[in-house]
Amino acid sequence: MHKIDVRHVFKRYEGASTDALQDVSLQVQPNEFVTFVGASGCGKSTLLRTIGGLEQHTGGELLVDGRAVNGPGPDRGMVFQHYSLYPWMTVRENIKFCRQLQVHRGKHSSAEVEAAGGRADALLRLMGLPHVADAWPNQLSGGMQQRVAIARALMSRPDILLMDEPFGALDAQTREVMHDLIRHVHRLEKTTIVFVTHDVEEAIYLGQRIVLMAPRPGRIDTLYDVPLPAERSQDMKHSPAFLALKRQILERIRETSGMHTDTDLLDQLTRTATTV
Ligand code: ADP
Ligand code: MG
């Protein structure tokens, strides 16, 4: 059975004149790492939020583990670009918070709450942050805050992690560290990951498969298998296979986005032109 099964899904926002998603079909397998790329406005976030149950599709079928999605659930953790930690809670409290909410609703025994404390600390170690458990979010760098947000998303042991440009606000060096960290999490927790980015290099380095989307109407244009071994290292970014795929995808994005190439992509194209 597919982990995520998107079947001819349509999404049109109220009052919009074009589909944000038009006839989108995609299957994601358990423990797969899939990245979505494409020009801004092509529906990457809409598709991710629809899988997360935060957005209701207006046509087609969307199944997770064979069941129709009709809202968010603890099986799908989400991480967004803005860290969105609660400033009035310590790091450990932020991580445990969602679980505590479920306790108040009577879903967990006190023994399970104890166990949750253990998991929060284990996740802090996994994220390389055991020393900041009692710190406040505003005492942490952006990269550290985002690691806390990932730990929080992993707290309910989700099968699926949905990430929307989670490293978009971080500097280049911190992003590289985060890339290797999230691949480590993927291996260790056996999570299925769907990761949205407009950065083609990030999409290739992280993904086993790339879904290229096109705008107006938002749709899937091309699927690419990433010809890199499961174990990645930063030097692979300079390999001929990596650079050839990067050039191919950037060209296709430019073709599909018409005159409206956004400045980020233009910048990436210029950089690729000088390095390839
Ligand atoms: P991406 O993440 O690829 O940049 P989005 O999914 O954010 O694309 O947007 C796809 C299309 O849907 C765009 O045309 C955008 O303007 C529109 N859209 C996104 N969110 C909303 C919303 N909440 N209400 C109305 N239109 C929206
Ligand atoms: Mg988006």
Nearest in space to 218 (alpha carbons), one of 5, 1, 16? 16
Segments in the chain below pLDDT 50:
103, 260-261, 276
Say what the pLDDT of residue 223 is. 98
Do 155 and 95 contact (CB within 8 A), yes or no?
yes
CA distance linking residue 11 with residue 44, whole number of Å: 12
What is the three-class DSSP state of 105? coil
Location of structure tokens 């929060």: 120
18 Cα nearest atom in ligand 1? 14
Say what the pLDDT of residue 162 is. 97
Strand duo 33-37 + 209-214: pairing = parallel
CA distance linking residue 67 with residue 59, whole number of Å: 16
* Mutate-to-test residue for ligand 1 from 17, 24, 37, 45, highest number of ligand atoms within 8 A of CB: 45
Residues near 270 by Cβ (< 8 Å), separated by ≥ 6? none
Say what the pLDDT of residue 116 is. 72
Ligand 1 in reach of 217 Cβ (< 6 A): no
The residue type found at 183 is R
Say what the pLDDT of residue 218 is. 97
Say what the pLDDT of residue 106 is. 59
Nearest in space to 163 (alpha carbons), one of 193, 126, 198? 193
What is the three-class DSSP state of 135? coil
Edge-first strand listing for the sheet containing 192-196:
76-79, 160-164, 192-196, 33-37, 209-214, 219-225
- The CA 21 to ligand 2 mean position distance, Å, reads 13
- Helices and strands per DSSP (H, E), number in the chain: 8, 10
Say what the pLDDT of residue 98 is. 67
Report DSSP letters for 49-89, one per residue: HHHHTSS--SEEEEEETTEE--S--TTEEEE-SS----TTS
- The CA 275 to ligand 1 mean position distance, Å, reads 32
Instruction: Identify the bridge partners of residue 214 per DSSP, sorted by sequence position.
Output: 219
